[in-house]
Structure 1
Amino acid sequence: MLLPARMAVLNYLSSVENADVNEIMEAMRPLYGKERQFTKDAYLDHVMSLEANGLCSLIRYELDDKDELSLRFAINDDGRAAVEKYVPAKYRNK
């Protein structure tokens, strides 16, 4: 069984200092890469929804090497509490 993708994104953010969408997708590719929703637009939507719900924060934005906007997100205390409450221990990233 896999976590829902949005909760998996939050779970991943709990294990890193911060990440952009490309880094999140690269980390999740082994488990979620074959799903039809595994697109940059969908994962950007996931992380922006988490931000809108107060579970992570946009900490920096910049242009990457390809002149595309790179948004960096970090989990906050409410996001960590949600991971602790809703993600079973066997699925949590360390």
Structure 2
Amino acid sequence: MAVLLPLRFRILHLMSTKDTGVTSTEIMQELGSDYGKEKQFKKKAMEGHLISMRALGLIEVETVSIDEKDELITSYKISEFGTGRLKFLPQAYK
């Protein structure tokens, strides 16, 4: 897969392959080799992408917890609406 998908579509695709929710840290670990050099691929920007995707109804919150540093950890999963948008992905991602 030489041509990269737009990051938000790739996040949506990643979530569609998981049985449980994923955190922003897990997304960054999994997609870092492809998107790691992009300016939008930073922790704060990733949180913004996920908030926007949730507002659009593409993903939903699965769990919320507090880690040992008292930081909020949110796990997201693809929504039914988001699953319907996967039809717009290139064949290589289906």
Q: Matches of 2:38 and 2:10 in 1, distance apart?
A: 14
Gaps of 5+ in 2: none
2:70 corresponds to which of 67, 72, 76: 67
The match for 1:10 is 12
**Cα distance, 1:41 vs structure 2:** 1.1
Q: Matches of 2:7 and 2:27 in 1, distance apart?
A: 11
Question: 1:9 corresponds to which letter in structure 2?
Answer: I
| Contact persistence 1:9–1:46 (CA under 8 A) | no
CA offsets, 1:28-74, max 9 Å, x none? 00100111221011111111111101111112111123321101101
Q: Which runs of 4+ in 1 moved over 4 A?
A: none
- TM-score, with structure 2 as normaliser: 0.89
Matched, 1:33 2:9: no
The match for 1:90 is 92
User: What do you get for the CA RMSD once the two structures are aligned?
Assistant: 1.2
Instruction: Report sequence identity in percent.
Output: 35
Higher relative contact order (CA 8 A, sep 6+): 1
Q: Matches of 1:65 and 1:38 in 2, distance apart?
A: 24
Query: Number of matched residues?
Result: 91
- TM-score, with structure 1 as normaliser: 0.89
**Cα distance, 1:91 vs structure 2:** 2.6
